[in-house]
């Protein structure tokens, strides 16, 4: 778990960071809070307006978070242009800081709550009059009293619908507010006409209760929606809350509390038990245990001693630790995780393109349907009152709020809950692709195994094992490969001195070459020996013991004459939980295969231990991506799991790349999903949460589409009361978000 935190620490191209344009120039990422959006059509218009601003590379507008994320290049007045474009489209834009989470609308939600309460207070007598008639003991309010109650609701509490509808109309666009304003205005205006036409005589049924109820219920729905959106963004707020405001700075040997912004890289800080670590750092003094659960999803304490890394936001459980700040502000691991999660929630799933196309024509189509409904009832059926009621109901019930919230709400909740359990999902596209994955390719070393092999056997041509080990360790001294570390460890254990090496040459995926003690040596696998026409020891050679299943490290001299000097055999332990992780993938009907650069015998040995029959062994780094492409060409939807630099091309070539904890920065940057712990079980968990989120998206879209498809003809037939339609429309949005919030109950399978 600690190693993945180190990985993120230096990542420079996380989704929240700014990318480069096609020409290689810097692209600035800007985030805007957008106000005034009420439906999918609104989000689509804002998106279109931003896309048309010169210099914009991509623009993504998220209705659920009420934010826009824009990547743009090169002009000093970019921000002003973006704000102006949004305002020209009829909405308002406010720049957000890089790590400002948005959606902290507590005050706005409270204000809306009061508006709903007062609107409901005025509406209840009108509703009581309507309900009393249904129950058989009618209560009749004087027309003047009905108008006294309904008018403030219509033109004060409902004024927001007129304003937002006018702004959209000004740019020849349609939105939900226009439907509400038109429907309720028609009901109010027709009621006023009936009262005027009666000329002081008793008036029949007025439609004021319908108009007031629709406005009140829509306001109630928007209030509940805002509260639900706040719950959906809880993951970001929880991460933000982990950053302390103060830090204990050591100055001239004394502790001084300073604001977090005053801490600089290189400062010495101290953290006491129960306090949160202020910035990323390295322990210089003290021992203790730290809870990094919110960052890694694993609640187990992590022991810390001098030299260990500390991560901002983690809780010091016991012991007083002194540490040197290594990263502050936006460069800390916690800040990078926040940007990654926030960046994922700002992306759009490909399925939303369908929503955009529907939303673009939905409001005009609904207005036409309402007009045809009215004319049919009035001219064909001769029922003017019925035509007014049916047309109002059509306008009110067809509001496409739920369509616009269906996908972003599920993405927000899904990526948030995944992050809480140590699974960082780059974007909504990865979520959508995950549900179709049918083949997972797993790297062997560091993914299925612990990545800490140990040398098990040595065979020297001259019988001097220590001499062979000294040469191998000297050549491999500059290599970070796990097998190189295994050789170095054994040399250290035997207290064998490492000699100076020069002219170091790396042969990717094969081994290394260097000059040691005046002779040029190569250390690596059989592929490296093949390049120099040398024959090494085979993995199934049992003449001097059982070498089967070991990773072979061949040692050869190129000068004065090419010859094999000997071989070392290393084995790596399978990670705990790897077999169960593979079993869970199979339970999800996902095939598995090992894709490794190691020899086939060693690869099959690991495959047998974890339950994977199909192995692709002896593949060079540049060949791994080719294998991924080959399998995709056979019709598979492929996820590639790896942790090393040599896995990065394959991660990028796969439908979804999954970077294991402890991997290299470049692997994480190429991946669509990053796992915060070195646990194979997280692979199956990532597939499970991705599929669960994609399932919620499909459910939400289905119900949002079906709702409108069914509701429109029912409303046109006059089978719904406008007030009932208003309640149904308001609740449709709430139900979509509530369905998405059910994802918060998802839990990974424990590997204990």
Known catalytic residues are 443
Q: What are phi and psi of 480, to 5 degrees?
A: -105, 10
Residue 710 CB contacts under 8 Å (≥ 6 apart), including other chains: none
* Spatial CA neighbour of 236 closest among 343, 84, 146, 353: 343
Half-sphere exposure of 524 (CA within 13 A, CB side): 25
How far is it, in rounded angstroms, from Cα 705 to Cα 626?
Answer: 41
- Cα separation values, 267 from 5, 264, 287, Å: 21, 6, 19
* 3-state SS class at 451: coil
Distance CA 441, CA 671 (A): 13
Closest of 123, 212, 209, 127 to residue 161, by C-alpha: 212
Q: How far is CA 7 from the centre of its chain?
A: 18
DSSP secondary structure of 542-599: -TTS--TTPEEEEEEE-SSS-EEEEEEEEE-PBPTTHHHHHHHHHHTT-EEEEE-SS-
Q: What is the DSSP letter of 284?
A: E
Strand partners, 616: 595
Phi, psi of 448 (to 5 degrees): -85, -25
Which residues, listed in sequence order, are joined to residue 20 by a DSSP beta bridge?
A: 26
Torsion angles phi and psi, residue 10, rounded to 5? -110, 10
Per the CB < 8 A criterion, the answer to whether 10 and 327 are in contact is no
- Write the DSSP assignment of 42-106 as a string of letters: HHHHHHHHHHTSTTEEEEEEETTTTEEEEEE-S-TTHHHHHHHHHHHTT-EEEEE-TT------H
Rounded Cα gap, residues 59 and 39, in angstroms: 18
Taking CA atoms, 332 is separated from 9, 117, 671, 675, 729, in Å, by 6, 44, 20, 18, 44
The DSSP symbol for 311 reads -
């Amino acid at each position: 778990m600690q190693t993945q935190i180190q990985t993120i620490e230096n990542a420079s191209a996380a989704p929240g960071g700014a990318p480069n344009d096609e020409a290689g120039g810097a692209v600035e990422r800007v985030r805007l809070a957008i106000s005034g959006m009420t439906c999918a059509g609104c989000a689509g218009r804002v998106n279109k307006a931003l896309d048309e601003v010169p210099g914009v590379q991509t623009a993504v507008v998220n209705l659920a978070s009420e934010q826009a994320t824009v990547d743009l290049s090169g002009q000093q007045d970019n921000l002003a242009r973006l704000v102006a474009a949004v305002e020209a489209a009829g909405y308002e834009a406010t720049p957000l800081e890089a790590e400002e989470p948005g959606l902290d609308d507590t005050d706005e939600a409270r204000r809306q709550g009061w508006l709903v309460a007062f609107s409901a207070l005025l509406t209840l007598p009108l509703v009581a009059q309507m309900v009393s008639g249904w129950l058989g003991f009618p209560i009749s309010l004087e027309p003047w009293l009905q108008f006294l109650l309904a008018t403030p609701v219509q033109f004060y509490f409902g004024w927001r619908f007129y304003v937002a509808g006018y702004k959209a109309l000004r740019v020849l666009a349609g939105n939900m507010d226009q439907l509400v304003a038109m429907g309720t205005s028609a009901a109010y205006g027709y009621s006023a006409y009936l009262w005027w036409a009666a000329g002081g005589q008793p008036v029949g049924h007025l439609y004021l209760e319908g108009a007031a109820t629709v406005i009140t219920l829509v306001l109630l729905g928007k209030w509940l929606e805002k509260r639900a959106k706040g719950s959906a963004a809880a993951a970001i707020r929880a991460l933000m809350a982990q950053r302390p405001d103060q830090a204990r700075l050591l100055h001239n040997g004394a502790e001084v509390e300073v604001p977090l912004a005053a801490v600089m890289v290189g400062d010495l800080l101290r953290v006491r038990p129960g306090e949160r670590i202020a910035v990323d750092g390295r322990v210089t003094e003290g021992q203790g245990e730290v809870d990094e659960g919110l960052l890694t999803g694993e609640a187990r304490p992590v022991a810390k001693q001098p030299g260990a890394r500390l991560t901002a936001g983690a809780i010091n459980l016991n012991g007083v630790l002194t540490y040197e700040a290594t990263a502050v502000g936006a460069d800390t691991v916690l800040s990078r995780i926040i940007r990654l999660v926030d960046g994922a929630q700002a992306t759009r799933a490909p399925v939303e393109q369908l929503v955009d196309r529907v939303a673009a024509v939905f409001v005009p189509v609904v207005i036409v349907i309402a007009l045809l409904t009215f004319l049919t009832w009035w001219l064909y059926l001769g029922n003017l009152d019925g035509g007014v009621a049916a047309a109002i109901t059509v306008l009110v019930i067809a509001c496409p709020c739920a369509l616009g919230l269906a996908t972003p709400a599920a993405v927000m909740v899904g990526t948030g809950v995944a992050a809480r359990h140590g699974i960082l999902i780059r974007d909504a596209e990865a979520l959508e692709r995950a549900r179709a994955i049918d083949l997972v390719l797993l790297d062997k070393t560091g993914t299925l195994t612990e990545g800490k092999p140990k040398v098990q056997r040595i065979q020297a041509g001259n019988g001097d094992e220590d001499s062979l080990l000294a040469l191998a360790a000297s050549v491999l001294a500059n290599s970070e490969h796990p097998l190189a570390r295994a050789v170095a460890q054994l040399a250290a254990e035997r207290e064998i001195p490492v000699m100076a090496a020069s002219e170091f040459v790396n042969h990717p995926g094969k081994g290394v070459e260097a000059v040691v003690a005046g002779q040029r040596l190569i250390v690596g696998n059989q592929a490296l020996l093949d390049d120099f026409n040398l024959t090494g020891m085979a993995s199934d050679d049992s003449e001097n013991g059982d070498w089967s299943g070991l990773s072979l490290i061949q040692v050869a001299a190129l000068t004065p004459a090419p010859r094999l000097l000997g071989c070392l055999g290393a084995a790596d332990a399978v990670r705990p939980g790897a077999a169960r992780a593979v079993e869970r993938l199979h339970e999800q009907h996902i095939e598995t295969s090992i894709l490794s650069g190691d020899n086939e015998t060693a690869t099959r040995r690991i495959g047998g231990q974890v339950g994977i029959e199909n192995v692709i062994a002896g593949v060079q780094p540049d060949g791994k991506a080719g294998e991924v492409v080959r399998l995709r060409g056979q019709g598979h939807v492929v996820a590639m799991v790896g942790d090393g630099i040599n896995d990065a091309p394959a991660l990028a070539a796969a439908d979804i790349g999954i970077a294991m904890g402890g991997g290299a920065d470049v692997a994480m940057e190429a991946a669509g999903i990053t796992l915060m712990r070195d646990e194979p079980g997280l692979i199956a968990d990532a597939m499970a949460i991705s599929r669960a989120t994609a399932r919620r998206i499909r459910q939400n879209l289905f119900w949002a589409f079906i709702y409108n498809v069914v509701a429109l003809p029912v409303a046109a037939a006059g089978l719904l009361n406008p007030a009932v339609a208003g309640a149904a429309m308001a609740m449709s949005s709430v139900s979509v978000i509530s369905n998405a919030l059910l994802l918060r109950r998802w839990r990974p399978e424990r590997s204990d």
